[in-house]
Structure 1
Amino acid sequence: MFKSSFNYFNLINKALDGSWMKNSAIASNLANVNTPGYKKETVNFEDVLRSEMNLNTGVPMTKTDARHIDPYNSGTITSEKVNDTSYRVDGNNVDVDVENAELAKNTIYYNSLVTEINGQYNRLKSALRINK
Structure 2
Amino acid sequence: MFKSSFNYINLINKALDGSWMKNSAIASNIANVNTPGYKKETVSFEDALRTEMNLNTGVKMTKTDDRHLDPYNSGTIRTEKVYDTRYRVDGNNVDVDVENAELAKNTIYYNALVTEINGQYNRLKTALRINK
Write out the 4+ residue segments of structure 1 that deviate beyond 3 Å after TM superposition. 58-61
Per the alignment, residue 36 of structure 1 pairs with 36
Structure 1 distance, partners of 2:87, 2:55, is 41
Equivalence map 1:43-58=2 (5 Å): 43-58=43-58
Distance 1:80 1:126, change over 3 A: same
Aligned to 2:67: none
Partner of 1:79: 79
Counting only pairs closer than 5 Å after superposition, residues 18-29 of structure 1 correspond to structure 2 as 18-29=18-29
Query: What secondary structure sits across from 1:42 in the alignment?
Result: strand
CA change 1:105–1:130 in 2 (3 A) is same
Residue ranges of structure 2 left out of the alignment (5+ in a row): 62-69
Give the Cα separation in 1 of the matches to 2:102 and 2:78: 17
Residue-by-residue CA offset, 1:38-64 (whole Å, 9 max, x unaligned): 000000000000111112224478xxx
- CA offsets, 1:47-98, max 9 Å, x none? 000111112224478xxxxxxx795x75211000001131201110000011
Displacement of 1:18 in angstroms is 0.1
Aligned residues: 124
Q: Superposition pairs for residues 1-132 of structure 1, below 5 Å?
A: 1-59=1-59, 71=72, 75-132=75-132
CA distance in 2, matches of 1:106, 1:99: 10
Partners of 2:131 and 2:13 in 1: how far apart?
26
Overall identity of the aligned pairs, in %: 88
Give the TM-score taking structure 2 as reference length.
Answer: 0.87
TM-score, normalised to structure 1's length? 0.87
Unaligned residue ranges in structure 1 (runs of 5+): 62-68
> Over aligned residues, Cα RMSD in angstroms?
1.8
Aligned residue in 2 for 1:64 = none
SS at match of 2:76: coil
